[in-house]
Amino acid sequence: MRLVSCYISSFGRIKDYEYRFHEGLNTILQDNGWGKSTFSAFIKAMLYGMEYSPRTKKELLDRNHYLPWDGSKCGGVLTIEVEGREYRINRSFGKTDKDDTFELIDCSTGLVSSDYSANIGEELFQVDRESFEKTIYLPQGCLDTGMTDSINAKMGGLAAAKDDISNFDGALKRVNAARTEYTRNSKINPGKLTSHKQKLSETKHRLERLPVITERYDGLLDILRSHNGEYNLLLAQKEAVGKRIEEQSKREQLIGTLKTIHDNLETESAELEAAGRELKKADIYGFSRHMPSEEDFASFNEQITDISQLRAKVESAKIQQEDSVRLEELKNFFARRFPTSEELSAAEKLAVEIGQIDIKKEQAKENLLMLEAERKASDSIKTQSMPVGKMLGIVLLIGFIVSGIIFLMGDFGLYIAATFFAFAMMDLIILVVTSGKQKSDYNQRMLNYDTTIEQAKDVLEELQHDYKEKQLVCDDFLSDYLVKRNASLLENIYDIRLKLEQYEMLIGQEQLLSEAVKSTIDELTEKQIRLATILQPYTTAYEVDIYETGSEFDFIIRLKKDVDTYRHALNRRDDCAARVEALKQQIADFEKNNDINSKTESVADLQETLRELDEAITDKHKLILKDQDDIRDTEVELEELTELAEGLEAMEAEGVELRYQLRIIESTLDLLQLARDNFLSKYIKPLKDSLHGYLGLIESDTQANYEIEAYDIDLDLNVRLDYQGSLMGVEYLSEGYKDMIGLCSRMAMIDVLYNNETPVIIMDDPFVNLDEDKLASAMVLLKEISAQKQIVYFTCHKARM
């Protein structure tokens, strides 16, 4: 690219200025303050536009620096030649980039061209504004270069890598940021690996307690186990004591029982003695020597039954007992004499008559009494008060009279009253008549009564006399017999007749029966004798003659009873003896099996021991509960730590993974850096060679004893001097020499950077600091460069032309 011409309409202090460029060196000699920097800035602005950023401070922006103060339009025209074609760039600048204008005219056609945009500088040179400034423009004292992305990209001539390089810093930053994400040491926001390490460290630190807690837990379990063992031991002791209490209770019970047995033995012995006496007593009839057995008694009873049957037969041959008794009674009754039938008949007749007389007598008495009572009653009638009829008559009379008076006095008339008075008169007459008749009747009646009464008395007397006589005869008859006093005469006579008949009947029966039983009696006698003989040992002892008395049955009963008594006494004695033996055996066994004399704790003592054990058990239980509480508390932490321990492996695995990721990141970072270095190192050599080439153009004595080869240029385009093995920056050199080196490095960079499109180089009096010698060298250098490149060289001094 070559500058052809420019027209500055207004840019900074330069106004309406035109200049035509030619190839090679274009020297512009102007005084300081003319605007050389402004001119350079204009060229840059026409190619790259002017930077605008609201955030950048105004004083730092070219726009604010170069906008005309008078407000005139800032801009101009720049004509350039690119690959043989001329273009005219028309540009104006406002306060902001939005106010800027750009027009590209193809000079050959005069038409607007779209071959390049407003970013024509970058499109032509493939470096950005900054890089352009750092390469093309050489201001006073500002020859440092430094590396930028676009310079790097340009040096490769690799437009396609622009994306790579433009993001390279970002890529490194991202990878670095990714690494920081892992390694950041911030307390507030630590990196993943840092955080993980912390967490792992904390976990491990906490887990250091695990063996302690486990040991503590095991220890507590041991203690609990021990306490449980002691508790169980106490329980066992309690059980043992309980058993001992039970045994001792039994023992004491047995001892008590033994005492009871002794007492019982004593009692039983006494009873035995009593039984013995009783037996002896019961043996008064010698049962100990001979005692009939039950079979004997059965035989006796059989015999007695036979005898009884025979006797019954005999008895039955006799009249019945009651008949016998009755006969006996009758005999006693007729002990004085037996009455004849005629005597009995006569007595009966008398008795009947007496009975009749008695009846008559009673009748007569009653009659007499009745008469007397009637007489008395008649007599009383006279003195009685007026009979009821008579009274009624009087009342009616009064009534009729009163009614008559009333009717007379009233309005009912005289007729009615007269009727009533008439009735009253009639009633009065009747009353008088009846009274007279009554008196006469009374007198007659009295007389009759007296007569009747007398007659009745006579009759009665006669009857009484007759009665007495007959009664005497009967009494005489009955005096031979014991009759009932409260029975009547006739009853007694009938009784005597009945008794006589009975006597005669019974005596007849008795005689008949006694004839019929003679053989039976013999048999009976025989059996009686036999039985008596058998029972003789016993009857002798009893001093009883059963044959005579016929009391076999009673005897046997008595004998049986006594034998039973004896046997009972014997059994009782034997039982007593057996019980006594048993008791003695019990005592012997107990004494054999129990050391009753040994000293053992009493139940009371054992219970005291038991109470103490219960207290100990309660205390132990409380201790165990406390142990369990301690264990529970420890368990909580143990469980937490166990969970942590379980997670440790996973956490460590996570750490391994994180470290691996970090390793990859760091490797990526290193390799990216290395790739960058390698990438760039391919292009640094040409840069160095070019630098050395330009340094070689400078006179050797200006090198100040430094070999050209000692100069190095690094990846950041910083020139260094290898001085005695150490790389020194050029800032240690003089200003003039620094400028020379800066110029050479800038030229070298331009050579490498702008392989295809060689831009114009704008130098704004870059040699102002050089001395004469160096200036001469610089001029030589300038001449050399201008042979290859278009240079616009500003200076304010002819000496530097």
Partner 1 sequence: MRIIHCADLHLDSKMESNLNKEQAKIRRLELLDTFERMVDWAEANAVNAILVAGDMFDKGHIRKEAKKKVLTAIKEHPQIGFYYIRGNHDKSDFIEEGVDDVPSNLFMFSAESWNSYELENVVITGVELLSSNSGTIADRLVLDRAKTNIVMLHGQESNYDSKADAEIININSFKDKGIDYMALGHIHSYSLKTLDDRGVYCYSGCLEGRGFDETGDKGFVLLEILDGKIDTEFISFSARRLHEIVVEVDKDMDMMSVVSAVKNAVDEHDVDKQDLIKIVITGERDLDDDIDVNRIIRTFAENYFFVKCYDRTRTYIDYDSFLHDKTLKGEFVRLVQKQELSDDDKAAIIEMGIKAIMGEELD
> What is the contact surface with partner 1 in residues (CB under 8 A)?
156, 158, 160-161, 164-165, 167-168, 170-172, 174-175, 177-178, 214, 217, 221, 224-225, 228-229, 632, 635, 638-639, 642-643, 646-647, 650, 664-665, 667-668, 671-672, 674-676, 678-679
Rounded Cα distance between 674 and 253, Å, is 108
Placement of tokens 């142990």 in the chain:
627
- Among 685, 796, 675, smallest CA distance to 751 is for 685
- Among 309, 266, 276, smallest CA distance to 579 is for 266
Angle between helix 209-282 and helix 603-697 axes, rounded to 10 deg? 170
Q: How far is the CB of 131 from partner 1 (least distance, A)?
A: 17
Rounded Cα distance between 392 and 403, Å, is 16
Asked if 121 and 132 count as a contact pair (C-beta separation under 8 A), the reply is yes
Q: Closer to partner 1 by CB, 106 or 635: give it.
A: 635
Alpha-carbon 360 to chain mean position: 116
For the chain, the helix, strand and coil percentages under 3-state DSSP, each to the nearest 5: 70, 10, 20
Q: How far is the CB of 664 from partner 1 (least distance, A)?
A: 5
Q: Closer to partner 1 by CB, 505 or 651: give it.
A: 651
Rounded Cα distance between 617 and 639, Å, is 32
- Among 206, 213, 637, 667, smallest CA distance to 198 is for 206
Q: Closer to partner 1 by CB, 192 or 720: give it.
A: 192
Rounded Cα distance between 279 and 563, Å, is 11
Instruction: Name the strand (E) or helix (H) holding 86.
Output: strand 85-93
Q: How far is the CB of 662 from partner 1 (least distance, A)?
A: 11
Q: Closer to partner 1 by CB, 551 or 668: give it.
A: 668
Q: How far is the CB of 233 from partner 1 (least distance, A)?
A: 12
Asked if 527 and 308 count as a contact pair (C-beta separation under 8 A), the reply is no
Rounded Cα distance between 63 and 43, Å, is 14
Q: Closer to partner 1 by CB, 166 or 324: give it.
A: 166
Q: How far is the CB of 116 from partner 1 (least distance, A)?
A: 25
Q: Closer to partner 1 by CB, 229 or 389: give it.
A: 229
Alpha-carbon 682 to chain mean position: 85
Q: How big is the CA angle at 796 (ends 764 and 13), to the nearest 5 degrees?
A: 70
Q: Closer to partner 1 by CB, 164 or 372: give it.
A: 164
Q: Closer to partner 1 by CB, 149 or 427: give it.
A: 149
Rounded Cα distance between 404 and 414, Å, is 9
Q: How far is the CB of 749 from partner 1 (least distance, A)?
A: 19
Q: How far is the CB of 237 from partner 1 (least distance, A)?
A: 17
Rounded Cα distance between 537 and 296, Å, is 13
Ordered alpha helix ranges (H), 384-413:
388-409
Q: How far is the CB of 148 from partner 1 (least distance, A)?
A: 15
Q: How far is the CB of 168 from partner 1 (least distance, A)?
A: 6
Q: How far is the CB of 656 from partner 1 (least distance, A)?
A: 14
Q: Closer to partner 1 by CB, 169 or 526: give it.
A: 169
Q: Closer to partner 1 by CB, 12 or 191: give it.
A: 191
Instruction: Name the strand (E) or helix (H) holding 80.
Output: strand 74-82
